[in-house]
Chain A
Amino acid sequence: MSEPLSKIPNGLRYYSGAEAGLRRRIEETAMSVFDGWSYEEIITPTLDYYSLFERGMGPSEAHHAFRFTDTDGRLLALRPDVTSGIARVTATLFANRTRPLRLCYAAPVFRQHGQSAIEWRRESTQIGCELVGQNSTESDLEVLAIASEVLQRLQFNREYVITLNDVEIFNGVAENLRFDADARDQLRQLIDGRNVADLEGFLGPYASREECRAFSKLIRLSGRLETLERARRVITNARSTAALDRLESLWRILESLGISDHFEIDLGDVSRLDYYTGLTFKIYIEGAGARVGSGGRYDNLTANFGKSEPAVGFVFDLDALAGLLQSRNDGATLLAQSIRRAQCVINSDPTALFSEAIERRACGERVVVGSAEVTP
């Protein structure tokens, strides 16, 4: 039996009408914010060598890419992320450009499987920016300010939270306990899942019962400055302390700017330690069951392409943002701004018809070239 023509592969779909319009509006809104902070758009190849993504994302993440062979037999992949391509271009083609580089993009990425159990999409659109070549609290603040502005321009006013952490806090703890790679990853998983029950068992041989308790409390509660205070009482190694200091100074600036209401410190966020090297953040919005964006500092990434330099950036998941806006009235408002009534132009003489249509278009009107509508 032949397959029906209507069938499309799993995890892929069409977007049309109001939904497509809304997606474009979101993209335009974000890109105009990036432009407002002097970020330059970059379009990376949709297809690239698989090895690029292995270097950029690490083998376990790159593994999710659709792969096929080039005419010379080399392995190609449909890009599963945009950052890898950007890291390569900054280290190679743009190696001699003045720093810092400010780059942004809105582009679809592809994966063989949805990114999580609840993500069915295999094509999704990432909107993001990268600030390369500057290692300072200022650049961390810059991308946080940009992310906040995008959310506010999209009329997410009160209902979003950006959680902050610094992976060096974890790295200091694991180093202090002299953990090998396996133990480190086990610890990471337990913390990431806030799995206090198993965490206390796991840490049992390394620390006193009180220390274990205090540590598990710490990773379970997110909060504000007091979280850092509590952390300092439990975690005293130099590497972690330096990270706590950095996080605190970042927090104090956010507070002085009067925008700390939208931020939380979450020491349990340790999702991708092989990738991030300092600040990490995740963006949650009421109504979405999963994060809608994430980012952080990844100072080791460009080193994989031969030029080591600091970098910080983030991505928004366009599909998640669109889904949220669609389910709310603001979505309609956002869209209404871009839709105007069309003038119907009707004339049985094709020359007169198009002469009027072209004239109206010249005045900027929205037209629909008329003839009776036909329903199939």
Chain B
Amino acid sequence: MTQLTIAIAKGRLQHGTLELLANSGLCETKEALSSRRLTLEDESGRFRFIFVKPMDVPVYVAHGVADCGVVGHDVLMESQADLLQPLSLGIGRCRIVVAALAERPENGYGMLRVATKYPRIAAAYFGGRGQPVEVIELSGSVELAPVVGLADCIVDLVETGRTLQDNGLSIVEVIAESTARLVVNRASYQLKATAVGALVAALEAKQPEGDL
């Protein structure tokens, strides 16, 4: 029997992913929910799960160390890894937005300073409009940057908008909608076609109709 290694993004998506896998009848995941182990096998031996930081999911899958992964579309856009993404899962719905202080001074056509955890998405988005930007890469609490004057705006992920609101920021533009995606390594897709096909089919059956 072919075993599939699945990389799961820790944090925001972790719970929803494991729940989805369990609901699809693919595996028992109680242990995973409580465990702090970084790797575990399900009882049937069909799957091995590894838990990694979201930004690292595309890395593990691209190298083929993991055959599949579950990760947000935002991370895929940023990583530009060459992966297959045969399924959009209905979980982890959020938006990648440009946000700024509600009463920001008009910048006109000058240089815009953008603070973000997503330097490539930010550069591609503003580059596509011909807007010159200085991208300031941060690793967290991006909302702080405009408040303390480090940046004119931010490019960040927004789920409820609560953090933005609490810091006096509001959404200026929506760059993209993001949901969790099932990603698959190109070689695994061919070499473990049966196992990958079964996984895709089981997960797809759990997707609400018309919501693909």
Please list the residues of chain A having a beta carbon within 8 angstroms of any beta carbon in chain B: 116-118, 159, 161, 163, 193-198, 200, 220-223, 264, 266, 282, 284-286, 288-291
Contacts and interface: CB of A to CB of B under 8 A. Distances in A.
Interface string B40-62: 00000000000000000011001
B64 A196 contact: no
6 contacts: A194-B84, A194-B189, A196-B88, A198-B88, A284-B187, A290-B64
B77 to A, nearest CB: 12
Contacts, number: 73
B32 interface: no
B95 interface: no
A351 B89 CA distance: 78
B62 A196 contact: no
Which of A223, A264, A289 has the largest count of B CB atoms less than 10 A from its CB? A289
Nearest to A292: B187
Shortest beta-carbon contacts, A-B, top 3: A289-B64, A197-B88, A194-B84
Contacts of A163: 190
A195 B191 CA distance: 19
Interface string B178-190: 0101001111111
B173 interface: no
B84 A193 contact: yes
B210 to A, nearest CB: 9
A85 to B, nearest CB: 26
Given A197-B181, A288-B187, A118 B83 contact: no
Contact of A289 (B63, B80, B84, B181): B63
Given A116-B82, A161-B191, A282-B190, 8 more contacts: A117-B62, A193-B85, A194-B84, A194-B86, A200-B212, A264-B190, A288-B64, A291-B186
Interface of B: 58-59, 62-65, 79-88, 179, 181, 184-191, 193, 197, 200, 212
A196 B212 contact: yes
A138 B179 CA distance: 47
Contacts of A290: 62, 64, 186-187
A117 B187 contact: no
B62 A286 contact: no
A282 to B, nearest CB: 8
Given A118-B62, A197-B88, A284 B83 contact: no
B91 to A, nearest CB: 13
Contacts of B184: 194
Nearest to A268: B84
Contacts of B179: 197
Given A117-B81, A200-B212, A220-B200, A159 B191 contact: yes
Contacts of B79: 117
A116 B82 CA distance: 7
Nearest to B192: A286
A291 B187 CA distance: 6
